[in-house]
Structure 1
Amino acid sequence: MPAWSQPQDIHSWIARGLSFRGAALLLAVFAILISEMRFSWVEILVGRYLAVTNAYRPESGNVWEQGRLKQVATRTLEQMVTRQLTAQREAREAASLNQLIEGLTASSGIMISAEQFRSLYSKIPESLARTLFSPIFMLRISAEKSWERVYLERENGQVGIYLLDRGNNVLSYTTVADRQLQSAGGESSFISGTLDGQPEFAGRIFPADRFFMALDTLSPEIQQGVLAHPGAVLGAEGTPVRVGFSDEVHADTIRIGIEMDTPAGRRILLTSGQEWAVWQVRALLDPLVSRPASRKLGWPASRVDP
């Protein structure tokens, strides 16, 4: 019998192809092709092999780079969405305008409802509230049912406040200093340290006992103009020792720092007073700044009507 691999002519090729061995080989090839088309087992085996060896192959090429960029973009988007949702939740839970402002970042603003802004607006001193928006104007757009929401954003030390309608059209807009809004938030803010470490109070620092004695001799209207929220000072931890006045005027208000002696050290309670009222108490304090404190300064005792 001639060798299988060495057919001599075409008749030998045909004869050997029609033999049992050739037919078996042809059927085996067809069976493999049909099973692959039906079950795709070759692709499955190759895929499993690639999955098992994936960690050991170098991450290079366009496909790997596109996959990496997609993963980075997905994580970044998830972080942005999470931060935005957190900011919106904190904004809805804010109890004061000061707390709302503290949640603002330079990269994203905050949207709140008109009802919430009205509530926060009503908690700040009227003199400061009027520097933001006219209360009559806010009542008008509320009655017209055109005011829907408020957008706040921070940029370059300023806070922008937009009153928007349902279509996000701007009904009114104002920009105020970040520091001014924080001091007007209905809650006095604290910073660690002493008044000597704050340049804005330099040369305008007085003993607390003299400040409150001078304030006690003035009319209730002036007292309210200087300290709109005296309860915040009464409720603060510690004892007031010194009071400082800022040299800057923002929207007819002046920052006031009350240095408190607390168990944790010196802290400064920051608030603000109306300019005209602050000058009234300053007029009483300036002539006495060089005198030693005494219980016999001649301040008239305040009278409490029965």
Structure 2
Amino acid sequence: MSALLATYQKIVRRQYFLVGLMIGLVLLGEMAFDIVERAIGRYLVWQNAGREKIGRSWEQAQQRGTAGVQLESVTRERRRQALELESISNFEELVQYVETNQQTILPPSQFLQIYHQLPYFLQPLLFNPDSLVTDARTQRVANVVVDGNRSGFKVVMLGADNQTVRRASLSTEQMNLLINYGKERNLNVRSESRFANYFFSAGEFWDLFESLPPLRRRQFIQEVTLLTESAGEITGVGVSNQYTNEFVEVAFAVSSIRAYVYYLPEDYVMDLLSPDREKAYEFYRLRRQQIFDNR
């Protein structure tokens, strides 16, 4: 009898276990189905372009997306600026870059490359060449900071400790000298009053040029590139009776309304005019009077 009771209880327990297991499986399946259903529902809602865009999850995702786009945009812009900065090879390009991108840091080697593109007699407007030789010997300069625009420009040389090694500031007039040197302009040299006293036909100019001492003639050829690039186009040359920051404006006309303008030191002009003693003396006297008036 006891054996039969034990067998019965065992069967009952197994049935209860099976029933409980089935109920557990049903509940587990229901939970799994509910989870999958919710996930599919959220996915479909998320992919619905017409859904109402609200909720913290959406806002967080939107913020992450916006931050990613902004980071990509900043990275792309910095890469563009770096490539543009590396391509700068002359002073005008540097000024244009700084006007667009504001304060800029250059390696000394690139700044010196730009510096040496300037005519040697205009280089001291920035820095005296002798001082740069000293800096090169001592290797004091680590970076060059440039800032400003065509109305005013600043160049600061910094050492490895970010202390100022050398500083230069350019006025609007000096900027015009450096940027416009050797540029073609709309200019009727014959009709401008400042060139009236010292205007020479092409033939007269070449006679004066051939009379220059050999060294000065080579300097003219080196600094006035028009003489080797487009000498045959020159129709006349005007020497201004006004000084610009201690330099003399010399305009090489290539047509009745176009001319290339250079700014040359006074001794260049005096040597050019020297065969015509009367004009040379008049120019010298005018210059001395201007110096006296400016005191």
The TM-score bracket by the shorter chain reads 0.5 to 0.7
2:261 matched to 1:270?
yes
Name whichever structure is richer in helix by fraction.
2
The TM-score, its normalising length taken from structure 1, stands at: 0.62
* Structure 1 pair 164–211 and aligned structure 2 pair: CA distance change class (3 A): same
Task: Quote the residue 2:288 is aligned against.
Answer: none
**Cα deviation, residue 73, structure 1:** 3.3
RMSD: 4.2
- The alpha carbon displacement at 1:266 in A equals 6.3
2:139 equivalent in structure 1: 145
1:60–1:240 distance in 2 versus 1, CA, 3 Å: farther
1:180 corresponds in structure 2 to 177
Q: Could you tell me how far 1:58 is from its partner in structure 2?
A: 5.8
Structure 1: how far apart are the matches of 2:38 and 2:161? 54
Aligned length: 250
Residues 225, 273 of structure 1: 8 Å contact kept: no
> Quick one: which amino acid aligns to residue 149 of structure 2?
E
**Counterparts of 2:126 and 2:69, CA distance in 1:** 42
- The whole-number CA distance in structure 2 between the counterparts of 1:179 and 1:238 is 27
- Give, in whole Å, the separation in 2 of the partners of 1:218 and 1:237: 17
* Per-residue CA distance 1:16-39 (angstroms, 9 max, x = gap): xx9x99997775344332x379xx
For residues 153-302 of structure 1, what are the structure 2 equivalents within 5 Å?
Answer: 153-176=147-170, 177-183=174-180, 188-191=182-185, 194-196=186-188, 202-205=192-195, 206-209=199-202, 210-219=204-213, 229-236=223-230, 239-245=233-239, 247=242, 249-250=244-245, 252-261=246-255, 267-278=258-269
Structure 1 Cα separation of the partners of residues 278 and 92 of structure 2: 32
Q: How many angstroms apart in 2 are the aligned matches of 1:127 and 1:269?
A: 18
Which runs of 5 or more structure 2 residues have no equivalent in the other structure? 1-15, 280-295
CA contact (8 A) 1:88 1:111 kept: no
Report the Cα distance in structure 2 between the residues aligned to 1:272 and 1:26, rounded to whole angstroms.
97
Please give the TM-score of this superposition, normalised by the length of structure 2: 0.64
SS at match of 2:87: helix
Q: Whole-Å Cα distance in 2 between the matches of residues 82 and 232 of structure 1?
A: 37
Offset of residue 144 of structure 1: 1.6
Shift of 1:211: 3.7
- Gaps spanning 5+ residues in structure 1: where? 1-17, 288-306
1:117 matched to which residue of 2?
111
Displacement after TM superposition at 1:164 (Å): 1.8
Given that 2:183 and 2:261 are in contact with CA atoms closer than 8 Å, whether structure 1 keeps it comes out as: yes
Q: Which moved more, 1:278-287 or 1:213-222?
A: 278-287
**Residues 132 and 156 of structure 1: is their aligned pair in 2 closer, same or farther, counting only changes over 3 Å?**
closer
Quote the offset at 1:169 in angstroms.
Answer: 2.5
State the secondary structure of the residue aligned to 1:127: coil
Q: Counterpart in 2 of 1:89?
A: 86
Q: Is the 8 A contact 1:227 1:273 kept in 2?
A: no
